[in-house]
A and B are shown apart, each in its own frame.
Chain A
């Protein structure tokens, strides 16, 4: 029996000793009575020394430990109370303190049994977890922030690129308008009597102006290509003569620099091709211009050969070689970038902005071509590009050479210039008066239409961008509403966007770009005026045909009177009685300058137009006459307008007479 008890007691002891959590028994006086191995480990003190000492001495906060210990006695137990045990060498162990009292056989309290669970590791892990979590959250936040920043930066960058393009485009446009005036007037002044010095200075102004225009056009071009707004024409043109004409431009420069120009042209290339000759010029001009610029001795070779010839297309390679300064190898790959020149000294020595090749590349690639460069420093460069052209059977309609035909001087020509910018108006006036033409100016399309209605003109020069009514709308109106075939030549400041197709589509006959070349303007005017003679006859026939169409429309009147012929007749008779006297009053008061009578007579006639279904344009015309007479504005136009009104009313009366006869026959 005793052995068993002993065994059991030993067994219990070994369990207690094996526990990893410190187990301690404390007397009612707070002295340690017993402990297990874990307690020794955690405090670093041997069993003998611990026994009988004050329990709370081994905690970092003895007061708190004493409170806990008192709580156990008071309540009988304590659960998970956090405390920190101190090792004799200073190491701290966080524990959760659990305790309960134990009693003797008689129920008297003998002491307290305490289990202190070591939670250092747990706390450390928890703390690490918490920390990791906080870090993770922080990292997410940072990432989010970075992403937002990146996104907004992208947006800003995109907007910046866009506004850059817009700015360049706008600025170029704004600069070009005054530049056109400067160059134009310089040309005009150059034709006057000047001494040599003055001529020299003016030539300098003109050259600088031309250079600036070229630069502005370059910038505009680049902006357009960047924005994908560049359009390319597909018109038939003669490649050989086009190239010859272009190379002609460099003759003086080449002679000045004592260079040789060699042209090798493949004779098997079809004579007429379809493509965009203007852009091709631009490309070759840039490349040959560069070649001339960077070559001080030797020759420039232009080699044009056909590389492919199939049913639809021909591929043509244009190679421009020079014996100039060449390009260092490490710069070759950047030579086509915007604002890049081979070396920073290049611009200092040779000038230029570094836009030329960028544009060339864009123009070639936008048309489906490729461009390559080979170069050796101090030996020369070769730029070659290959482009496809459509084969065509069409005849060319692009004039490559400008001849001024002055076989029969044309007199009494009246030109209407539709242009909103005062400087340009003045320039056109100067040019046209120099040619000996009479001209009128309209500031916008609306005024132009009024003028065309009131007066006779031989030709119209029309700016495209105007307030109120732009050139396209005005032309459409002239062609469709007025049924006029008067020649219209578009004046455009913007060669790059000018949609020749659009000009032709709305019915313009031709276009001329600013700055206006006076010779070109003259030849175009003469060309269309010569055409006009033959067209005038057709015009007259059309006018007659137009007048045979009815001007009245009795739909409204029929509706009003519910088709009552008696009422309709009554109305018609009243109109016929009343209108002619009103017209004669208008005419009389116009000649007598009796503005009040004119105003009230025309006032009376206004409601009749809509009742008789006459085109509302005439009602507006009448209102305009009233306006003019109220404001006492006497112009030639006013007379013309009154005549127009008289004609239409006369026509209406005649037509109504017929209607009246029809009613009589039917009743």
Chain B
């Protein structure tokens, strides 16, 4: 359990959250924790997730809830190194750009291929992290 990659899934759409969780559990060996709100996710950041997948619209049901961008900002403020992938059912450039400005690692549209893309992005994140570590190791020896 300790060695597994830990992923936080955050979405107030329980239905989609469940389907995503099923996808992750069925297709890859991950430790998954799901949260219905941004607040719950932030409260659990101390358990150090490797990747957070965060919905853009967290205030769809509850208007007073923290929205995706706010949650993202809070995560980045506390743990700038945790990569966050934003999810949205909206295929809008400006939404995607705004997520990038708030230091999201990537932006994925909720569709049939969403899970595939998430998988690829997660692989990329690890690849990238590994390269960064190697680079640091070499830099230290230079």
Contact = CB atoms under 8 A, between A and B. Distances in A.
Does A associate with B in a complex?
Answer: yes
Interface of A: 556-557, 560-562, 567, 570-571, 574-575, 577-579, 581-582, 585, 597, 600-601, 603-604, 606-608, 610-611, 626
- Residue from the set A556, A571, A577, A607 with the largest chain B CB neighbour count within 10 Å: A607
A556 B57 contact: no
Nearest to B114: A607
A585 B57 CA distance: 15
A575 B60 contact: no
Given A577-B14, A611-B19, A626-B90, 6 more contacts: A571-B19, A575-B15, A585-B61, A603-B89, A604-B60, A604-B89
- Residue from the set B13, B18, B23, B89 with the largest chain A CB neighbour count within 10 Å: B89
B15 A574 contact: yes
B123 to A, nearest CB: 20
Contact of A606 (B14, B59, B61, B89): B89
Contact of B18 (A562, A571, A603): A571
Contacts of A578: 13-15
Q: Name the 4 nearest CB pairs between A and B, nearest first.
A: A606-B89, A607-B110, A604-B60, A600-B60
B81 interface: no
B116 to A, nearest CB: 12
Given A570-B18, A571-B18, A604 B13 contact: yes
Contact of B22 (A560, A585, A610): A560
B129 to A, nearest CB: 29
A574 B61 CA distance: 14
Contacts, number: 61
20 contacts: A556-B112, A560-B23, A561-B26, A567-B22, A571-B15, A571-B18, A574-B14, A577-B14, A579-B15, A582-B61, A597-B63, A600-B57, A600-B60, A603-B90, A604-B60, A606-B110, A607-B15, A607-B16, A607-B110, A608-B16
Contacts of B63: 597
B111 interface: yes
Contacts of A561: 22, 26
Given A600-B59, A603-B60, A610 B15 contact: no
Contacts of B112: 556, 610
Interface in B13-36: 13-16, 18-19, 22-23, 26
Contacts of A604: 12-13, 57, 60-61, 89
Interface in B63-104: 63, 88-90
Instruction: Indicate the size class of the contact surface on chain B.
Output: 20 to 34
A611 B18 CA distance: 11
Contact of A560 (B13, B19, B110): B19
B108 to A, nearest CB: 11
Contacts of A608: 15-16
Nearest to B112: A610
A293 B29 CA distance: 91
A626 B26 CA distance: 32
Contacts of B114: 607
Contacts of B110: 606-607
A603 B68 CA distance: 14
B15 A601 contact: no
Contact of B26 (A560, A575, A582, A585): A560
Contacts of B61: 581-582, 585, 604
Contacts of A585: 61
Contact of B16 (A567, A600, A601, A611): A611
A543 to B, nearest CB: 29
Contacts of B19: 557, 560, 571, 607, 611
Contacts of A560: 19, 22-23, 26
B89 to A, nearest CB: 4
A41 B36 CA distance: 129
A626 B22 CA distance: 27
Given A578-B13, A604-B57, A607-B110, A571 B90 contact: no
A556 B26 CA distance: 14
Nearest to B90: A603
A443 to B, nearest CB: 24
Contact of A603 (B14, B26, B57): B57
B62 to A, nearest CB: 10
- Residue from the set B18, B88, B114 with the largest chain A CB neighbour count within 10 Å: B18
B126 to A, nearest CB: 24
A662 B19 CA distance: 21
B69 to A, nearest CB: 13
B96 to A, nearest CB: 15
Contacts of A626: 90
B22 to A, nearest CB: 6
B21 to A, nearest CB: 9
A22 B13 CA distance: 123
A571 B60 contact: no
Given A578-B14, A606-B110, A608-B16, A601 B26 contact: no
B15 A611 contact: yes
Contacts of A607: 13, 15-16, 19, 89, 110-111, 114
Nearest to A579: B15
